[in-house]
Amino acid sequence: MTAPAATSPEAVLAARNVAKSYGQVHALKGVNFDIHRGQVTTLFGENGAGKSTLMKILSGVIQPTSGEIELDGRPVSFANANEARDRGISIIHQELSLAPNLSVRDNIFMGREITGPTGVDFAEEERQVRTLLAELEEEIDPLTPVENLRLGQQQIVEIARALSVDSRILIMDEPTSALSASEVEVLFKVIRDLTAKGVSIVYISHHLEEALTITDHAVVLRDGVMTAYAPRAEIDLEWIVRNMVGENYDLGSPPVTERGEVALSIRGLSVPDATGQDLVQSLDLDVRAGEIVCIYGLMGAGRTELLETVAGRLRATAGQVVLEGHEISHLSIAERIARGLALVPEDRQRDGLVQTMSVGQNLSLASIRRFTRGLFTSARTERALVDDSIRRVTVKTSGGHAAIGSLSGGNQQKVVIGKMLATQPRVILLDEPSRGIDIGAKAEVFRLLAEGAQSGLAVVYSTSEVSECLSIAHRIIVMHKGRISAEFDSSVSKEKIMAASGESVAA
């Protein structure tokens, strides 16, 4: 049964009994949703609950199967996103939609270039981009190719592009998933400035505590149905989780495992940036079979560079990587995978998935040697591997034939993890494994890692969320400016972890 519409005389944009079906799959089931003028409405829900589908309908990206959209109290329909944008509605999508080979300036003004008597006014575009980036307190040269930016900076460019349209209604789908704590603070300041000017914000986030600091109203979607609505004064974390998943989830605790021999040994590892400065400096770390190690640090601490160098994606200037007693620093990525070392990258869209392949093809891609003999592949062996992986990591999909783009973000992340687990690794590295996924999917991911450790897998995962350190990790390694600044067991407090990372802790 659909929850009653949250009506308000200030509703500037509203969905009325909106439904959306994809064949037999009902993504939305008669949803009523109001966006209030000059306020932040936060939309909560698990991956696959219908949040992104609803936002795509409101922003003209897709059309509803039934129901209608009201703008300023009058029915309206948008044939595409450009029509919605012309009426003042913009969206920042969960997955980045930037052209990596173009500059920051060209990405921000793509499709709506500023023209003058002699053609495109690149100087004016650059001036406006500099102003936008200054507002977001981000020092990025507008002429820098997007592919040269780290993920968090690319997220800032996506936000700047949406702000450049000067919208009345701005939909933000996971805008902070790749941002540092300081960048989140700046974004929230921008949001408050926008709402003070009467701009309406829809905010979607799986960072529940973060979202509570910015929201005016909260709506919860569950299985395509609006299950709860309340103003900020009436909600807390327990209310959100209860209405999202029906029970108070946690991320688990360190599993009881039998620690084996050292599976991964890192000695004196140094990793440079493009200018030759070390992002990781003479780092030593040992991880044992059956052990779960969490690496915590702020953006720029060197977490990603460490994991990508161990996996073979980046080259070190010094140091060794030893896997089960064998030095592997000279091996390629494929050779390291064959030896039992796997990496789940931070950016699943760019580095973890092939968008033109099916769910099954993505799952089996890294294990192709298991069902290939010479020029021939065994379809039956591959199908068995895919079916086993879907079952093991609980991917919600119609089957291995489904398009990878048809899955929610959480299920796509489970496909990336399932792909690497299918290689039967001895050591698995995961860079921000919960980025952009809901609390339910997050709990499933951490359950998978705990089960892996219990079977003897050495697990190393990085995170920028303190709460994730205090879940399943046996050991917590804190990085600051490319070095290990502290090491703790699971009994440590959040405050000590944050202090060791260089993060300020409120008194």
CATH of the domain at 40: 3.40.50.300
Q: Is there a single domain that holds both residue 168 and residue 117?
A: yes
Question: Does residue 253 lie in a domain region?
Answer: no
Contacts of 306 (CB under 8 A, 6+ apart): 266, 269, 271, 280, 283, 295, 462, 479
Look at the chain and report how many structural domains it folds into. Answer: 2
Instruction: Name the DSSP letter for residue 460.
Output: E
Let me know: does 13 contact 35? Beta carbons within 8 Å: yes
Q: Is there a single domain that holds both residue 191 and residue 304?
A: no
Question: Does residue 145 lie in a domain region?
Answer: yes
Question: Does residue 66 lie in a domain region?
Answer: yes
Break the chain down into helix, strand, coil percent, rounded to 5: 35, 30, 40
Q: What is the pLDDT of residue 6?
A: 43
Q: Is there a single domain that holds both residue 149 and residue 215?
A: yes
Strands of 273-394 (E only): list them.
278-288, 292-296, 318-323, 326-327, 341-344, 372-373, 376-377
Phi, psi of 210 (to 5 degrees): -60, -45
Q: What is the pLDDT of residue 242?
A: 80
Q: What is the pLDDT of residue 502?
A: 74
Q: Which of 217, 245, 273 is the last residue of a domain?
A: 245
pTM, to two decimals: 0.64
Q: Which of 58, 412, 27 is nearest to 221 (CA)?
A: 27
Let me know: does 358 contact 390? Beta carbons within 8 Å: no
Q: What is the pLDDT of residue 52?
A: 85
- Model confidence pLDDT, tens digit, residues 413-427: 889 988 998 899 999
Q: Which of 176, 211, 245 is the last residue of a domain?
A: 245
Q: Is there a single domain that holds both residue 221 and residue 340?
A: no
Question: Does residue 447 lie in a domain region?
Answer: yes
Q: What is the pLDDT of residue 341?
A: 96
Integer Cα distance of 94 and 402 in angstroms: 21
Question: Does residue 279 lie in a domain region?
Answer: yes
Q: Which of 480, 461, 469, 464 is nearest to 180 (CA)?
A: 464
Which SS3 state, helix, strand or coil, does residue 214 take?
coil
Q: Is there a single domain that holds both residue 220 and residue 289?
A: no
Q: Is there a single domain that holds both residue 107 and residue 50?
A: yes
Q: What is the pLDDT of residue 35?
A: 93
Burial call 156-166: b when 16+ CB within 10 Å, e when fewer: bbbbbbbbbee
Q: What is the pLDDT of residue 277?
A: 81
Positions in the chain short of pLDDT 50: 1-9, 504-507
With 0-12 / 13-18 / 19 or more C-beta atoms within 10 angstroms meaning exposed / middle / buried, residue 218 is: buried
Q: Is there a single domain that holds both residue 241 and residue 346?
A: no
Q: What is the pLDDT of residue 289?
A: 96
Question: Does residue 6 lie in a domain region?
Answer: no
**Cβ contacts of 487-491, under 8 Å, gap ≥ 24:** 490/253, 490/254
Q: What is the pLDDT of residue 252?
A: 80
- Model confidence pLDDT, tens digit, residues 116-167: 888 899 999 999 999 999 988 888 999 999 988 887 788 888 888 888 887 8
Integer Cα distance of 106 and 188 in angstroms: 25
Contacts of 226 (CB under 8 A, 6+ apart): 2, 3, 31, 32, 33, 219, 220
Question: Does residue 187 lie in a domain region?
Answer: yes
Q: What is the pLDDT of residue 499?
A: 83
- Model confidence pLDDT, tens digit, residues 72-94: 989 999 999 889 988 999 888 76
Question: Does residue 196 lie in a domain region?
Answer: yes
DSSP 318-329: EEEEEETTEE-T
Q: Is there a single domain that holds both residue 402 and residue 456?
A: yes
The 10 Å Cβ neighbour count of residue 248 is: 10
Q: Which of 245, 280, 312 is the last residue of a domain?
A: 245
Q: What is the pLDDT of residue 7?
A: 43
Q: Is there a single domain that holds both residue 153 and residue 286?
A: no
Q: Is there a single domain that holds both residue 301 and residue 426?
A: yes
Let me know: does 480 contact 281? Beta carbons within 8 Å: no
Q: What is the pLDDT of residue 507?
A: 36
Q: Is there a single domain that holds both residue 292 and residue 202?
A: no
Q: What is the pLDDT of residue 365?
A: 86
Q: What is the pLDDT of residue 127?
A: 94
Contacts of 246 (CB under 8 A, 6+ apart): none
Question: What residue numbers bound the domain in which 494 lies?
Answer: 261-501
Q: Is there a single domain that holds both residue 205 and residue 268?
A: no
